[in-house]
Amino acid sequence: MKGLFSALTVLASLAASTIAQDQVIMPAVPEPLIHTEPTLFDLLTVESRASIFFSYARETKASRLLVDQNANISLLVPTNKAVMALARKPHQGPISIEDDIEISEEVFEGRSKENVERWVSLHIIPDSPISLAAHTFPTLAAGKTVTFTAIDGDVTAPEWTRVLLNGEVQIVQMKKAANGVFYLIDGTVRDE
């Protein structure tokens, strides 16, 4: 009987090792990335007062910055009212000497796209967070800067409520995102 018990123990141990060799060990599944803060893209999606700017921005190369978690940009977002008040819309660009010359639809589309890229780039500061009072910052538009000047106001109020953009545009709201800050503005950054 003792021999039988020893034989069964050996068989059981062989079976266990065979089963262990046949088992496939699954690699650890990475945890999904969970962001606690929305991105600039997310904030623009739900900000109805900025839907026109967002429509333009979505169609540009700069739109990738709106979703990039590492972008850290400051976005100057004109209200719909500010965009509608423009004499020439962003896709039209600045007044051209050639306005009365006929161009092909393909050339028109190319120019419109370039104009929108430039206009959106004027509204992006490639840094965040920033201190606004009495500072000048480069934008993504080559050679263009924006300047914030301090105005009188309640010193206990947030800094963004106590500055003007380029001497005339007021910031009406500020929202923080995972990849930067967006300032809702009651005007636009001009390409002058």
Assigned domain for 15 exists: no
Using alpha carbons, list the distances in angstroms from residue 126 to 63, 75, 91, 144: 13, 9, 22, 12
Which tokens belong to 44?
């623009």
Assigned domain for 16 exists: no
- What pLDDT is stored for residue 105 in this prediction? 80
Report how many domains make up the chain: 1
Report the CATH number at residue 102: 2.30.180.10
pLDDT tens-digit map of 121-145: 999 999 999 999 879 999 999 999 9
Assigned domain for 191 exists: no
Counts for the chain of helices (H) and strands (E), in that order:
6, 7
Which single residue is written with the structure tokens 């105005």? 151
Assigned domain for 5 exists: no
Which tokens belong to 52?
């026109």
- Distance CA(146)–CA(76), nearest Å, equals 10
- Distance CA(78)–CA(119), nearest Å, equals 11
- What pLDDT is stored for residue 104 in this prediction? 80
Assigned domain for 141 exists: yes
The residue with greater pLDDT, 102 or 5, is 102
Surface-to-core class of residue 136, CB atoms within 10 Å of its CB (0-12 exposed, 13-18 middle, 19+ buried): exposed
Assigned domain for 21 exists: no
- Distance CA(146)–CA(60), nearest Å, equals 20
Q: Determine the structural domain holding residue 75 and report its residue range.
A: 38-185
pLDDT at residue 185 greater than cutoff 70 = yes
Radius of gyration of the CA atoms of the chain, in A: 29
Neighbouring-strand partners of residue 75: 124, 182
pLDDT tens-digit map of 77-125: 999 999 999 998 898 877 665 556 777 888 778 888 999 999 999 999 9
Query: What number of CA atoms fall less than 13 Å from residue 171's CA on the CB side?
Result: 27
Assigned domain for 29 exists: no
Assigned domain for 11 exists: no
- Distance CA(31)–CA(39), nearest Å, equals 20
